[in-house]
Structure 1
Amino acid sequence: MPKIKNILFIMADQLRWDYLSCYGHPHLKTPNIDRLAERGVRFDRAYVQSPVCGPSRASFYTGRTVFSHGATWNMVPLPIGELTLGDYLRPNGVTTAVVGKTHMIPDREGMARLGLNGSTDIGCLVSQPGFDPYERDDGLHPDPLLRKKGGKLRYNDWLRSLGYEGENPWNDYANAGEGPDGEVLSGWYLKNSNLPARIREEHSETAYMTMRAREFISEMGDAPWLCHLSYIKPHWPYIAPAPYHDMYGPGSFSSAHRSQAERRDPNPVFEAFMKMEVSRTFSEQGTRETVLPAYMGLIKQIDDHLGRLFGWLEETGRSDDTMIVFTSDHGDYLGDHWLGEKELFHEESVRVPLIVCDPRKEADATRGTVSDAFVEAIDLVPTFMEATGARAASHRLEGRSLIPLLRGETPEDWRDSVFSEIDYAFYAARETLKLGPSDARGYMIRTDHWKYIHFKGFPPQLFNLGEDPDEFIDLGRSSGHEQIRQEMHNRLLERLLARKNRTTMTDDEVMEIRDRENESGIIIGRWQEPAAAE
C-alpha cells in the first residue's frame, strides 16, 4: 500500500461509546462523526488499557499496556525511556504535534539524572511526552492549580485579548455559569451543570482547540504531520455554552443502567467504589437529570466543530491523503451501576468509540462497515507506524496494526479477548479497603461470552455476557462457576505474561546473537574441542 502522508488523531475526553448516534444513541445525533464512520470502519468492540485518563493515554501513545510503560495513574510520570508516537514517526519526517490534552506529566527525576530540562529541544519533547507541544492544554485549571503552574495558560491569554477579564477566565467564564444576581457559579459543582457557561460558544475550549488544530495543519503546508486533536470535553466540569446547554431534556435521556441486585452483597472493591462521594452523588435523584444536558450538549458541540473541520479538509484536498481517527480515552458511568466517574470495568467505562477512515483505495471495500473484532488502544501506534512506513518495533509494541482490518482482512490469529487494568491506589476506595498503595490493583479480561476481573486480595468478579449483557449479576463467588473462573484466570495470566519487557533489543538481534555464539570464543559446558574437519 502507498504510505499515508498525514494523520488526524482525534480524541474526546470521557466520551462513552454509546453516546454517538452511529453507536446507537436514540436521541443524541452526531451526523458529522456518523459521516466519518460512513467513510471508514466503525469498530464496535474497542477497549482502553485502563479506564483513567493518564494511563489510558499513555497506552494510546506508547502501544504498551499500563504496567509495562509504568504510568499507572494521572500523576505518575511516563518513564523517560519509554518511546511514544513522536519517537516512532519523527525519523520519517512526520511532525507529531498535540493540540489539547495529554494528561501526562514529565519524568523530571529521569530528566535531571540525564541533565535535561524543558528549555532544550530534547527536554521539551521528552516532557510532552514525545509530542511537539503546539497547543498543550490538559483542561484542568481551577485557581489554586493554575497558580501552582505559574499562572500561565495560552487559552487564558487569548480570552483576555477578547475582553474576558480576570486572572483565570478559564475558571470564571468557560467553566462557570451565572446566578440570578450576576454571581459566578462554578461548573465544578454538579448542581450548576445545566446553566449556560459565561462564554460565547465560539470562544469555548472546544471551539478554540478546533481553531488551533486548523492553524497547525495550515502551517504545515505540504510537510507530513500527525495532529493529535485532543478535546478537553465532555470531561467535567460538566458545563456547556449556549445554545448547547439546554438542547437535551428528560425525553432525550436514557434511563440509568443499574439494578438493586448490584447492591446486595457486592464485591468488596465494587462496594468501596459505590461508597465514594462521586458515586453517591450520581446515584441520587436529580443528579443525572442536571448533568446529562451538559454532557450531551458538549458532545453535540464537538460534532458540530468536527463537521466544519472535516469540510475544510475536503475543500483544501487534505482529506485525500489524511487518515482520520476518532476515539475516546475512556467512558463515564453517569450514575450507571450506582457509580460516578470511570475507573472500573463495566462497558460504560472501559469500552470506547473507535472510527478509522483510511483514504487509500485499498480500504475502499470496508467503507461504511462495522467491525466486531476485539481491538485495543495499544493498536493505534502500530497502525500509524505501518500507515506511514515507520520502522517496525514488534519487540516493544504490545498492540497490533489495524491495517489488515481496514483492508477487509481478519488475520486467523487475531485476538479473541481484550485486557484492561487499574491502579486504584489514589482513590478513597483503597482507604475504605485498608490497602497499601501497591496492593490496589485490578485486571480485566473479556471474551465474547465472559468478563472476568481479578482484584488483588479480594474475590474476583465474573459476568456471563451472553445471558447478562447488563453486567448486573456477579458470578465471582458462585459455586457453580469455579471452572469458568479458573479458565478465565488462566487467560488473564497468559495475557500478563505476554507483556513486552525486553524493549532495548529486537527479536532479530536476539537470533543474531544466538547464531554468533560459537564465534565469540566463549565456550560453556563443552567437553572437548571438536575434531578438525579433514
Structure 2
Amino acid sequence: MTQTNFLVLITDQHHADWLGCSGHPVVKTPNIDRLAQRGVRFSNFNVASPVCMPNRASLFTGRYPSVHGLRYNGCLLPQSANTFVDVLRQAGYATATIGKSHLQPFTARDATSFKDFEAGVIEEAWKPDAGDYGQEAPDRYDAAGRYTIRTPYYGFDHVDMVTAHGDRAGGHYQQWFKEQAPNWRELLDRANQLPHTYTCYQAYRTPIPEELYHTSYIRNQAADWLCRQADSEQPFFLFVSFPDPHHPFNPPGKYWDMYDPENFTVGTPYSAHTAPPPPLQYTREQFEQGRLPETPQIAFMAEDRHIREAMALSAGMITMIDDAIGGVLEALKQSGKYDDTVVLFTSDHGDYLGDSNLMLKGAWARPSINRVPFIWADPRAPRGLEDTALSSTLDIAPTILDRAGLRPYFGIQGRSLLPQLGGGHGREELLIEFNDSGYRMGFMNSPARVRTLLTDRWQLSVYHGQRWGELYDRHADPQQVNNVWDVPDYHPVRSELMERLMHQVIGTMDESPRANRQA
C-alpha cells in the first residue's frame, strides 16, 4: 500500500477571511479555493499564539508556547525539542522545508525588553544550551555560495531558508538573489522604489521583478523538489512557507496595482466600541497625536484611506501567493504523487487589517489575529465541507501523525482532527496564549501576558496584572464591541469561564518526560 505524502502550505500574517473560499468579495484565490473544494475548510480554526515564532513552534511540536519554550519572538525552539517532523523522519519520510522557518531569530538586533533586570553571578534560571541557534541569523548568509545548515533541522533533512520579509528577505533566497541580479544593490536601495501614489505606512513599491521576488523563488524551489520525488518510493513531507502577506506592503510587478483600494471596505471602526479597552485607547491616543510606532512590527491605528491602501496591497500579495501555490500543485501533479498526498493550507496568525482601525498584530486579543485559515485536502476525506468546530494550530501535528498511522510522542497537547472529519465532536473550549517581548500597546510596567478562553459562544481574555479584562458574547456581539466583563448580569458567566480558563492553564503543565522510577 502506498504511504501518504504531506504538503503543508503556509502564509504569514493572513487574515482568515481573506480568501475567496472564505467569502471575501474582492480577493482572488482560485487555487486555494480549489483546495477547499477538494477537502474540508475549518472556519473556527485558531492559533496557539497570535505571534510568528511561538505559533510556528506550536505547529511543529503540538505543544503550547509556555511548554515548548519559544514563548515570544526572539526566543528559540530548543534543539532538544521533538517535532512531528522528527517522527515522520524516523518513520522513513523524506523531509524538506522551503521558505520561512522562524524557529530561531533571523535578525542581528539585540532584544530591547527585560533590560531593567539586574542579573547576579548567574544570569538565567537555566544553564546555557550549547546548541547552534544562529542558523537563521543574517551573517550566516553574507558569503557568496550557499550556506549549509546543519541537518536534521528540527526534523528536516532538506532546508531552503528564507528569512525576514518584503524586499529585505534573506537566507538562501538572498544568496540566490545576488547571483541572479548583478544590480542587486540598486534593486535593494529604497531610493530606487518605483513611482506610486500610495501614502499608507510601510507601502513601498519594490523594483524587484516578480520572477526574482521570494514568493517566486519559493514556488520554483518547491516545484523542483517535488519533481525530484517523482521516481522515489520514499514518502515525503514538504513544508512550503511564504513570508507574505506580512508587512511591509510591497507586492512586486503586476500585483502592486492588481486591486483598487476603493473596492475594499474597512471593518469594525474604533467608534463602534461602547467601552474601548486600554490597549485600544492607548493606540488611539498615539494615532491622534500623530505618533508612528518605534519599530515597524508594532500595531498602529490608521485612517480609513490608508487602511484601504494596505488592504489592496495585501490582496496583491495574497493573489501572488495563490498563483505560486498553483505552480506548486501543478508540480505535485506532474510528479505523479497528487492522488497520494494530503495538502494543508494555513497561516501562522492573522492581522487586525482594519479591525477597530488597527493594523498588524499585538497584545489586544481579537479574532482577527487569533483565527486563521485552515484547509485539509485529503484524497480519503470528505470534500467541499466546512467544519465549524473549535480547533487549533496545536492539532496539526497529531492530525498529520494520525493520518500517517504514527503514534505521537508523550507530552503532545494537540488532538487529532480526523475524528471530526467523520462527524465527531470538536473541542468545547480552547486556550490561546500571548506573551509579548516588549512594552507595547500601553503595557508599561511589564510586557503583556494574555490568556484567552474560547467557547462556541464566549471569548474571555485575562491580562496579567491588570484590573480589567474582556468578555464577549460571540453570538449576540460577533464584532466584539460590547465588553460585558463588568456588567453585573454577566458575572456568573465570567466566573464560570474564569474557572474553565484556570483548568485549561493548569492542564498545560509539561508532562514530559515521564517518571522512570517510583520515588
TM-score, scaled relative to structure 2? 0.84
User: Distance in 1 between the 2:357 and 2:133 partners?
Assistant: 45
Report the equivalent of 1:131: 156
- For 2:66, the aligned partner's letter is F
1:320-335 equivalence runs, <5 A: 320-335=339-354
1:112-511 equivalence runs, <5 A: 113-114=129-130, 124-125=150-151, 128-140=153-165, 153-167=171-185, 169=187, 171-172=188-189, 177-179=193-195, 190-191=200-201, 193=203, 196-221=205-230, 222=232, 223-262=234-273, 265-274=275-284, 277=292, 282-343=301-362, 344-360=364-380, 363=381, 366-393=382-409, 395-406=410-421, 408-411=422-425, 414-429=426-441, 432-437=442-447, 440-458=448-466, 459-505=468-514
Alpha-carbon shift at residue 443 of structure 1 (Å)? 0.7
Distance 1:115 1:462, change over 3 A: closer
Secondary structure of 2:221's aligned partner = helix
User: Distance in 2 between the 1:453 and 1:305 partners?
Assistant: 37
Alpha-carbon shift at residue 219 of structure 1 (Å)? 2.8
User: Distance in 1 between the 2:35 and 2:359 partners?
Assistant: 30
Secondary structure of 2:412's aligned partner = coil
Distance 1:29 1:280, change over 3 A: closer
**Residue 46, structure 1, aligned to residue 45, structure 2:** yes
2:76·2:133 contact (CA, 8 Å) conserved in 1? Answer: no
Report the equivalent of 1:530: none
1:45·1:373 contact (CA, 8 Å) conserved in 2? Answer: yes
1:74·1:104 contact (CA, 8 Å) conserved in 2? Answer: no
Alpha-carbon shift at residue 453 of structure 1 (Å)? 0.2
Alpha-carbon shift at residue 302 of structure 1 (Å)? 1.0
Distance 1:387 1:273, change over 3 A: farther
Distance 1:500 1:397, change over 3 A: farther
2:432·2:453 contact (CA, 8 Å) conserved in 1? Answer: yes
Report the equivalent of 2:13: 14
Alpha-carbon shift at residue 378 of structure 1 (Å)? 0.6
Distance 1:117 1:75, change over 3 A: closer
Runs (5+) with no aligned partner, structure 2:
107-123, 136-147, 287-291
2:348·2:372 contact (CA, 8 Å) conserved in 1? Answer: yes
Report the equivalent of 1:23: 22
User: Distance in 2 between the 1:334 and 1:63 partners?
Assistant: 28
User: Distance in 2 between the 1:6 and 1:483 partners?
Assistant: 48
- Report the more deviating stretch, 344-353 or 218-227: 218-227
Report the equivalent of 1:86: 85
1:51·1:350 contact (CA, 8 Å) conserved in 2? Answer: yes
User: Distance in 1 between the 2:132 and 2:304 partners?
Assistant: 52
User: Distance in 1 between the 2:215 and 2:36 partners?
Assistant: 21
TM-score, scaled relative to structure 1? 0.81
- For 1:46, the aligned partner's letter is F
- Report the more deviating stretch, 331-340 or 17-26: 331-340
Distance 1:26 1:481, change over 3 A: same
Distance 1:468 1:135, change over 3 A: same
Distance 1:324 1:35, change over 3 A: same
1:379·1:400 contact (CA, 8 Å) conserved in 2? Answer: yes
Alpha-carbon shift at residue 4 of structure 1 (Å)? 4.4
User: Distance in 2 between the 1:273 and 1:73 partners?
Assistant: 21
- For 2:353, the aligned partner's letter is L
Can you list the C-alpha shifts for 1:504-534, whole angstroms capped at 9, x where unaligned? 22xxx87xx6xxx7xxxx9xxxxxxxxxxxx
Alpha-carbon shift at residue 451 of structure 1 (Å)? 0.6
User: Distance in 2 between the 1:342 and 1:4 partners?
Assistant: 39
Can you list the C-alpha shifts for 1:327-360, whole angstroms capped at 9, x where unaligned? 0111111221232212332111110110001123
Secondary structure of 2:349's aligned partner = coil
Distance 1:404 1:247, change over 3 A: same
Alpha-carbon shift at residue 162 of structure 1 (Å)? 2.9
Alpha-carbon shift at residue 291 of structure 1 (Å)? 1.4
Secondary structure of 1:312's aligned partner = helix
Can you list the C-alpha shifts for 1:1-24, whole angstroms capped at 9, x where unaligned? x77431111101111110001001
Distance 1:133 1:81, change over 3 A: same
- For 1:86, the aligned partner's letter is V
Secondary structure of 1:442's aligned partner = strand
User: Distance in 2 between the 1:28 and 1:433 partners?
Assistant: 35
Alpha-carbon shift at residue 375 of structure 1 (Å)? 0.8
Secondary structure of 1:96's aligned partner = strand
User: Distance in 2 between the 1:462 and 1:105 partners?
Assistant: 35
1:3·1:387 contact (CA, 8 Å) conserved in 2? Answer: no
Alpha-carbon shift at residue 132 of structure 1 (Å)? 3.3
Can you list the C-alpha shifts for 1:292-312, whole angstroms capped at 9, x where unaligned? 221001111111121222223
Distance 1:402 1:250, change over 3 A: same
The percentage of counterpart residues that share the same residue type is 31
Secondary structure of 2:372's aligned partner = strand
Runs (5+) with no aligned partner, structure 1:
147-151, 523-534
1:134·1:216 contact (CA, 8 Å) conserved in 2? Answer: no
Aligned residues: 477
Distance 1:226 1:273, change over 3 A: farther
- Report the more deviating stretch, 198-207 or 462-471: 198-207
Secondary structure of 1:11's aligned partner = strand
User: Distance in 2 between the 1:273 and 1:496 partners?
Assistant: 29
Aligned CA RMSD, in angstroms, stands at 3.1
Distance 1:245 1:234, change over 3 A: same
